[in-house]
Amino acid sequence: MRDVIRRLIFDLRYRFGRPRWDTGIVPPELVALIEGERPPAGRALDLGCGTGTNVMYLARHGWQAAGIDFSPTAIAAARRRAQGDAAETRTRFLVADVASLPDLGPAFDLALDVGCLHSIAADRRPAYAAGLAARLRSGATYLLYAFLPAPGSAGIAREDVLSLFASGFALTRVEEGTGRPSAWYRFARR
Protein backbone atom coordinates (compact mmCIF):
# COMPACT_ATOMS: atom_id res chain seq x y z
CA MET A 1 0.00 0.00 0.00
CA ARG A 2 2.85 2.37 0.88
CA ASP A 3 4.34 2.00 -2.62
CA VAL A 4 0.98 2.58 -4.32
CA ILE A 5 0.55 5.83 -2.38
CA ARG A 6 4.11 6.97 -3.20
CA ARG A 7 3.58 6.20 -6.88
CA LEU A 8 0.34 8.19 -6.88
CA ILE A 9 1.98 11.16 -5.14
CA PHE A 10 4.89 11.21 -7.61
CA ASP A 11 2.55 10.87 -10.57
CA LEU A 12 0.38 13.74 -9.33
CA ARG A 13 3.44 15.96 -8.92
CA TYR A 14 4.35 15.34 -12.56
CA ARG A 15 0.76 15.79 -13.69
CA PHE A 16 0.35 19.21 -12.07
CA GLY A 17 3.70 20.81 -12.80
CA ARG A 18 7.40 20.11 -12.83
CA PRO A 19 8.58 18.52 -9.57
CA ARG A 20 11.56 20.27 -7.94
CA TRP A 21 13.77 17.22 -8.53
CA ASP A 22 13.14 17.18 -12.29
CA THR A 23 15.33 20.18 -13.11
CA GLY A 24 15.89 19.52 -16.81
CA ILE A 25 19.64 19.93 -16.18
CA VAL A 26 22.13 17.16 -16.92
CA PRO A 27 24.32 16.63 -13.84
CA PRO A 28 27.91 17.86 -14.31
CA GLU A 29 29.13 14.47 -13.04
CA LEU A 30 27.48 12.77 -16.01
CA VAL A 31 28.80 15.40 -18.41
CA ALA A 32 32.33 14.94 -17.01
CA LEU A 33 32.11 11.20 -17.64
CA ILE A 34 30.61 11.38 -21.14
CA GLU A 35 32.38 14.45 -22.52
CA GLY A 36 35.50 14.42 -20.36
CA GLU A 37 36.44 10.76 -20.06
CA ARG A 38 34.71 9.85 -23.33
CA PRO A 39 33.95 6.17 -22.77
CA PRO A 40 32.82 4.39 -25.94
CA ALA A 41 29.07 4.77 -26.40
CA GLY A 42 27.16 1.64 -25.50
CA ARG A 43 23.97 0.85 -23.63
CA ALA A 44 22.89 3.09 -20.75
CA LEU A 45 20.14 2.79 -18.15
CA ASP A 46 18.66 5.71 -16.17
CA LEU A 47 16.85 4.52 -13.04
CA GLY A 48 14.12 6.94 -11.98
CA CYS A 49 14.51 8.87 -15.24
CA GLY A 50 11.63 11.29 -14.74
CA THR A 51 10.97 13.21 -17.95
CA GLY A 52 14.07 11.83 -19.67
CA THR A 53 16.65 14.63 -19.47
CA ASN A 54 19.61 12.28 -18.96
CA VAL A 55 18.33 9.65 -21.39
CA MET A 56 18.10 12.25 -24.14
CA TYR A 57 21.55 13.59 -23.29
CA LEU A 58 23.07 10.12 -23.51
CA ALA A 59 21.24 9.31 -26.76
CA ARG A 60 22.49 12.56 -28.32
CA HIS A 61 25.99 11.38 -27.47
CA GLY A 62 25.52 8.09 -29.32
CA TRP A 63 24.33 5.83 -26.48
CA GLN A 64 21.40 3.43 -26.69
CA ALA A 65 19.65 4.80 -23.61
CA ALA A 66 16.74 3.39 -21.62
CA GLY A 67 14.86 5.21 -18.89
CA ILE A 68 12.75 3.59 -16.17
CA ASP A 69 10.30 5.43 -13.93
CA PHE A 70 7.21 4.31 -12.03
CA SER A 71 5.31 7.48 -12.95
CA PRO A 72 3.28 7.02 -16.14
CA THR A 73 2.98 10.80 -16.42
CA ALA A 74 6.77 11.27 -16.28
CA ILE A 75 7.32 8.54 -18.89
CA ALA A 76 4.67 10.05 -21.17
CA ALA A 77 6.48 13.41 -20.92
CA ALA A 78 9.81 11.70 -21.67
CA ARG A 79 8.36 10.04 -24.76
CA ARG A 80 6.95 13.39 -25.94
CA ARG A 81 10.37 14.98 -25.37
CA ALA A 82 12.02 12.32 -27.54
CA GLN A 83 9.52 12.57 -30.43
CA GLY A 84 11.11 14.07 -33.49
CA ASP A 85 14.55 14.35 -31.87
CA ALA A 86 17.37 12.99 -34.03
CA ALA A 87 18.31 10.71 -31.11
CA GLU A 88 14.79 9.33 -30.65
CA THR A 89 15.67 5.95 -32.19
CA ARG A 90 18.33 5.46 -29.49
CA THR A 91 15.87 5.94 -26.61
CA ARG A 92 13.49 3.67 -24.78
CA PHE A 93 11.22 4.68 -21.90
CA LEU A 94 9.41 2.22 -19.65
CA VAL A 95 6.97 2.52 -16.79
CA ALA A 96 8.44 0.09 -14.27
CA ASP A 97 9.54 -0.34 -10.69
CA VAL A 98 13.32 0.06 -10.27
CA ALA A 99 13.23 -2.46 -7.42
CA SER A 100 11.68 -5.05 -9.76
CA LEU A 101 13.30 -4.42 -13.13
CA PRO A 102 11.86 -6.12 -16.20
CA ASP A 103 14.00 -7.89 -18.79
CA LEU A 104 15.75 -5.07 -20.63
CA GLY A 105 17.72 -7.03 -23.20
CA PRO A 106 21.53 -7.14 -23.42
CA ALA A 107 23.62 -5.97 -20.47
CA PHE A 108 24.22 -2.26 -19.96
CA ASP A 109 27.59 -0.47 -19.96
CA LEU A 110 26.43 2.44 -17.81
CA ALA A 111 23.72 2.96 -15.22
CA LEU A 112 22.69 6.23 -13.63
CA ASP A 113 20.51 7.03 -10.63
CA VAL A 114 20.05 10.68 -9.73
CA GLY A 115 17.95 10.72 -6.59
CA CYS A 116 15.89 7.55 -6.90
CA LEU A 117 17.50 4.99 -4.57
CA HIS A 118 17.28 7.17 -1.48
CA SER A 119 13.50 7.36 -1.81
CA ILE A 120 13.00 3.58 -2.01
CA ALA A 121 11.95 1.83 1.20
CA ALA A 122 14.94 0.21 2.93
CA ASP A 123 13.44 -3.29 2.65
CA ARG A 124 13.22 -2.93 -1.17
CA ARG A 125 16.76 -1.64 -1.73
CA PRO A 126 18.39 -5.11 -1.86
CA ALA A 127 16.09 -6.03 -4.77
CA TYR A 128 17.08 -2.80 -6.53
CA ALA A 129 20.80 -3.61 -6.10
CA ALA A 130 20.39 -7.23 -7.24
CA GLY A 131 18.32 -6.25 -10.27
CA LEU A 132 20.83 -3.59 -11.25
CA ALA A 133 23.79 -5.96 -10.85
CA ALA A 134 22.04 -8.53 -13.06
CA ARG A 135 21.57 -5.99 -15.85
CA LEU A 136 25.10 -4.55 -15.99
CA ARG A 137 28.05 -6.13 -17.75
CA SER A 138 31.29 -6.70 -15.87
CA GLY A 139 33.24 -3.45 -15.81
CA ALA A 140 30.15 -1.27 -16.33
CA THR A 141 29.97 2.09 -14.56
CA TYR A 142 27.21 2.93 -12.09
CA LEU A 143 26.76 6.58 -11.06
CA LEU A 144 24.56 7.22 -8.02
CA TYR A 145 23.50 10.49 -6.46
CA ALA A 146 21.73 10.09 -3.13
CA PHE A 147 20.68 12.27 -0.23
CA LEU A 148 22.05 11.40 3.16
CA PRO A 149 19.49 10.86 5.93
CA ALA A 150 17.94 14.01 7.37
CA PRO A 151 15.04 14.46 9.79
CA GLY A 152 11.71 14.25 7.99
CA SER A 153 13.05 13.41 4.54
CA ALA A 154 14.32 10.51 2.46
CA GLY A 155 17.97 9.54 2.51
CA ILE A 156 20.43 6.68 2.67
CA ALA A 157 23.56 6.59 4.80
CA ARG A 158 26.92 6.18 3.08
CA GLU A 159 27.63 2.93 4.94
CA ASP A 160 24.27 1.57 3.76
CA VAL A 161 25.10 2.42 0.14
CA LEU A 162 28.49 0.73 0.43
CA SER A 163 26.98 -2.35 2.09
CA LEU A 164 24.17 -2.58 -0.47
CA PHE A 165 26.57 -2.73 -3.41
CA ALA A 166 29.54 -4.49 -1.73
CA SER A 167 29.05 -7.90 -3.32
CA GLY A 168 28.69 -6.93 -6.97
CA PHE A 169 30.42 -3.57 -7.30
CA ALA A 170 33.72 -1.88 -6.52
CA LEU A 171 33.53 1.70 -5.27
CA THR A 172 35.82 3.88 -7.37
CA ARG A 173 34.88 7.37 -6.14
CA VAL A 174 32.74 9.28 -3.64
CA GLU A 175 32.21 13.04 -3.73
CA GLU A 176 30.23 15.13 -1.28
CA GLY A 177 27.21 16.81 -2.84
CA THR A 178 26.56 20.51 -2.51
CA GLY A 179 23.63 22.01 -0.61
CA ARG A 180 21.65 19.34 1.21
CA PRO A 181 23.87 16.57 2.65
CA SER A 182 24.32 14.16 -0.25
CA ALA A 183 26.95 12.26 -2.17
CA TRP A 184 27.89 11.11 -5.65
CA TYR A 185 29.10 7.52 -5.80
CA ARG A 186 30.83 5.88 -8.71
CA PHE A 187 31.00 2.11 -8.86
CA ALA A 188 32.39 -0.41 -11.31
CA ARG A 189 30.49 -3.65 -11.79
CA ARG A 190 32.64 -6.63 -10.85
Average pLDDT (35-53) is 97
User: Given this model, what pLDDT does residue 1 score?
Assistant: 62
Provide the pLDDT for residue 5: 73
pLDDT tens for each residue of 143-179? 999 999 988 888 999 999 999 999 999 999 999 988 8
Amino acid 23: pLDDT: 82
pLDDT band at 12 (very low <50, low <70, confident <90, very high): low
- Mean per-residue pLDDT, 84-92: 96
pLDDT above 90: percentage of residues in the chain:
82
Is residue 123 a contact partner of residue 149, using CB atoms and an 8 Å limit?
Answer: no
Instruction: Assign domain 2-189 to its CATH superfamily.
Output: Vaccinia Virus protein VP39 (3.40.50.150)
> Quick check: 15 pLDDT over 90?
no
Helix (H) or strand (E) holding 55: helix 53-60
Task: Give the pairing of strands 136-147 and 108-114.
Answer: parallel
Q: pLDDT tens-digit profile of 92-108?
A: 999 999 999 999 999 99
Report domain extents, the chain: 2-189
- Order of strands across the sheet that contains 136-147: 91-95, 64-69, 43-47, 108-114, 136-147, 182-189, 169-176
